[in-house]
Structure 1
C-alpha cells in the first residue's frame, strides 16, 4: 500500500549491511517511494550532493564509522530532509542522543515492514502538513478574494477546460496575459488539479530578484560562491522537489539564469553556484509573463531556445474587459469577502455603482477590481457603496478615458499609468517612461487602485 497515496517522495538508505539495504528498499518501494541505497558515509554525502531526499534511513554504525557523526553532515547538506536512525544496539541513551543530533525518529533492529512504513508515513505526513500550513498562511486573506473560476463567459469556460487538460499532464505551462489577470492564482489552480497536488508549490517573483541573485535563488549556492555567501543555501528548485515551481514574470530572468533554466528544462539537472557537482530534481514548471516574449527574443533580451521550451503549453488568460458577464458577479464576490473580513455585514453596491463597474474598462483587471472593492469596504462611511467610493466617477455610457475625450485629467492619467505598467519590464522602468520617480508612481498606483 502506498504511503498517503503520494509517489512524489524519495528516501536514501545508508547501511553497511547489503541485506538490510535490500529489505528497506523493497519495503519503501512497495510504499511508493523512489529509493537509493548506499553502504558508506562518503557515498551517502555524494548522493546528497546530487539529489534531494525527503527521508534518510541511517544506520547508527557503518562498520567503524559512526552514524551520529555523519548525521550533522547530512543535515548541513539538506537541512529539510528527515533522518531516521536504525540500529541493532538500541538504548534509551542512544535514542536521546540521536534526537538531540537532529534525527526525527529511531527504529531498532530487527524491524518489521510495518514499522518502517509507519515511521516513513509519520514523517512524510508531518512534512506535508507543515508545507500545507505554510502555503495556507501565505494565501490567507487572498484565497477567497481571488476565486474567479465561476464564470458565465463562454470564452473563459473554454479556457478553463483547456487549462484542466494541461493540468493533467506534467508538461511545462506558460501562462500569458495582462497584469492583474490572475496568473498566480491560475498556477495554483493547475497545481491543485495535477498529479503533484500533494507536493510543494514554490513561487518565485522574478522581478523582485536582483540580477546577481537570480541564479542563486533558483538553484542555490555553496559557501563562498560570491560576496555575502556565508553559508550553503538550497535553491527554489530543490525546495520544490516532487512538486511545482512557479516562475512569475519569467521574462525578467537574467540571461545567466535563463541559460541555467534551459539546461534544467532539457535534462532536469542543475548545479549550485560555486560547485561542479551535478544535481537532479523532479519538479514541474509553470511560468507566467505579461510581456510579449517574441519581441523580447527579437530584442536579444530573452533566449529563443528557452522561449520554445517554455511555450509547449501556452495559455492566454483573458482580460477582465473580455469577460463582461463576470464583472458584477465578481464584484459581488469580492464585496461579500471584504464585508466579512472587515466586520461590516450588509455592505451593498448601489445601482449607479453597478453601472459604473459594468462600463469601466478595468485596465488593471482583477487586481484593480479587487482593490477598488477592498478600498470602498474600508473607507466608505455608508453601507451603500456608490461610484465615488469605488473611484469610478463616470456613469454608464460616458466616454472612455482617452486623449481628447470628455473626461478629467485624473481619468486620463490613471488610464495612461495602467497601460504603461504592463508594458515596462519593471516598475522603475515604468516610472522612467512616465517621467516620475518610483515613489511617486507607487503613490499614484495606490491612489488609483492599481497596486
Structure 2
C-alpha cells in the first residue's frame, strides 16, 4: 500500500514511516495541511494516517478537505488526547479507523491490515458494479459448434487445477471472456483476476507494470510501486497477446512460471508469487519460436493446456443466434422496442465472413440498434462493410464473397475497403471490431501499410 503520514512532530512522522516501510509498504509524510493536500493532489495513496492536532490546525477539518477531494480515500485518525467523543466525531466525519498515541508497531499493523481489507472490499464492489453495468450476453458459451464445445470442455476441466493455460485464436473470438470464465470456475474465484495487455506499453513500462518498481529505478519512478503480479496475489494473472511480449522480459516471466519468484525493477529482493497464469495470443507461437522472437522454453512452459478458439466464420450455425441475443441486449440497454431483421439483412449477416469475429458482430448489432429508423432492420441499416454497395465498389480492387479465393485474400480486400472508407486507423479498427494494434499488424502483414 502507498500510505501518507500527516503529523507535525518529526520524530513521530519518521517512526511511523519506518513501521510502515518495515511492513513492506511505501510511505510519504507531510507536516501540515498544505503539504498533505498537495501530496494527495499529485500522487495516489491507498491510506492516510492523520494526527488530530497539527500545531494550530485541527486534523478533523483537514479530514473534511481530504474526503472532499477524494471521498474514497481511507483515513485513519490518531491522537494523544483520545476520548470517546473525539473518536465518534472522527468516524462521523468519515474516518475509517481511530488509533490512540502512543501506539505500537503491532497496533499500527492491525490498523493497516483492516485498511487493506477495506480497500479490497471496495475494489470488489467497483468490479461487480462495472460487471453489472456492462453486462452483455456471452454467446461464446452457447454454441452449436463441436470445436467450441470441445474447447470449453478442456478449459473447464482444467479450471480447478493450478495448470497454466494458453488460449490461441484470432482477435475477437472471446479469449479474454473464456479466461475469466476459467478463473470463475477455479478455487481462486474470490481472488483478483488481473489483466495485462502485453502490446500496450514499452518494454520498460511493461516490466514495471508486471513486476513493479522501486523509487529511482528509472526516469519518472518517483516512488515505490507494486505491479500486476502483486495485485493478482492468490488469483489469476491474464496475459493478453503474450505473443507480443518483448524478448527481454520473457526470462523473467519464465522464472515466475517455474519458480513462482520475481523481483521488482531496481531491487534485488526475491519475492514469492501465488498466481495462476492464463495467456492468450492471436500469433502462431510455434512460428515465433522458429523466428527467434519467442523463447522456446517459455513456449513449452506455457503450453501445458492449450486450446484454440475457432473464428466466427467457422461457426456459421451460431451467427444468427448470436445476433439475436445481442439484438435483445442492446434494445433493452437503449430502451428501444425490440427490432427484427428483414430477410435481406439476415441474408447479409449470414453471408459476411466476420473477420473481427464476436467483437465485430457485437459492435455491428449495437450500431444497428442505435441507428435503425424502424422496428425492421433493413440491409441499408447495416454498415458499409455488410451492404451490397460496399461489395460492388470493392469488386474492382479485390475478390467478392463467393469467388474462388483464399480467406486471406478475402480478408485483405475487406480490410482495404474499410481503410479506404474511414478517416483513421482507429475508426477502421472500430468498424472491423478489432483493436488498433491488431489492425496495424494485419495491415503490415497483408502489405497494405504502403498504400
- TM-score band by shorter chain is 0.5 to 0.7
Q: Give the whole-Å Cα distance in 2 for the aligned partners of 1:82 and 1:321.
A: 54
2:158 match: 166
Q: Deviations over 1:83-115 (max 9, x none)?
A: 9x9xxx99648989x999x985879xxxxxxxx
Alignment partner of 1:375 is 2:375 = no
Q: Specify whether residues 363 and 258 from structure 1 end up closer, same or farther in structure 2 by C-alpha distance, changes over 3 A only.
A: same
Q: Give the whole-Å Cα distance in 2 for the aligned partners of 1:138 and 1:240.
A: 18
2:425 match: 441
Q: Specify whether residues 331 and 95 from structure 1 end up closer, same or farther in structure 2 by C-alpha distance, changes over 3 A only.
A: same
2:412 match: 416
Q: Deviations over 1:141-188 (max 9, x none)?
A: 543144431222232222211111111111111110011101111111
Q: Give the whole-Å Cα distance in 1 for the aligned partners of 2:153 and 2:415.
A: 29
How far does residue 417 in structure 1 lie from its aligned partner after superposition? 6.8
Q: Give the whole-Å Cα distance in 2 for the aligned partners of 1:130 and 1:167.
A: 27
Q: Deviations over 1:199-247 (max 9, x none)?
A: 0011011111112211111000000001111111100000000111111
- TM-score with structure 1 length normalisation? 0.68
Aligned counterpart in structure 2 of residue 157 of structure 1, from 126, 146, 149: 149
Q: Specify whether residues 103 and 148 from structure 1 end up closer, same or farther in structure 2 by C-alpha distance, changes over 3 A only.
A: same
Tell me the SS of whatever aligns to 1:175.
Answer: strand
Aligned counterpart in structure 2 of residue 298 of structure 1, from 276, 290, 293: 290
1:262 match: 254
Q: Specify whether residues 349 and 140 from structure 1 end up closer, same or farther in structure 2 by C-alpha distance, changes over 3 A only.
A: same
How far does residue 303 in structure 1 lie from its aligned partner after superposition? 0.8
Check whether the contact 1:243–1:283 (CA below 8 A) recurs between aligned residues.
yes
Alignment partner of 1:393 is 2:387 = yes
Alignment partner of 1:403 is 2:398 = yes
| Comparing 234-243 and 373-382, the one that deviates more | 373-382
Q: Give the whole-Å Cα distance in 2 for the aligned partners of 1:377 and 1:314.
A: 37
How far does residue 302 in structure 1 lie from its aligned partner after superposition? 0.8
2:26 match: 76
- TM-score with structure 2 length normalisation? 0.68
Tell me the SS of whatever aligns to 1:213.
Answer: helix
Q: Specify whether residues 120 and 72 from structure 1 end up closer, same or farther in structure 2 by C-alpha distance, changes over 3 A only.
A: closer
What is the RMSD computed on CA atoms of the aligned residues? Answer: 4.2
Alignment partner of 1:320 is 2:312 = yes
Tell me the SS of whatever aligns to 1:346.
Answer: coil
Alignment partner of 1:362 is 2:354 = yes
Q: Unpaired segments of 5 or more residues in structure 1? A: 1-51, 53-65, 108-117, 421-430
How far does residue 370 in structure 1 lie from its aligned partner after superposition? 0.6
Q: Unpaired segments of 5 or more residues in structure 2? A: 2-13, 29-44, 50-75, 101-109, 436-451
Check whether the contact 1:82–1:104 (CA below 8 A) recurs between aligned residues.
no
Tell me the SS of whatever aligns to 1:265.
Answer: helix
1:110 match: none
Check whether the contact 2:398–2:410 (CA below 8 A) recurs between aligned residues.
no
Q: Deviations over 1:254-276 (max 9, x none)?
A: 11211110111110010000000
Q: Deviations over 1:348-389 (max 9, x none)?
A: 211222222222211111011111101111122222112332
1:200 match: 192
How far does residue 440 in structure 1 lie from its aligned partner after superposition? 2.7
Tell me the SS of whatever aligns to 1:315.
Answer: strand
1:278 match: 270
Q: Give the whole-Å Cα distance in 2 for the aligned partners of 1:448 and 1:259.
A: 35
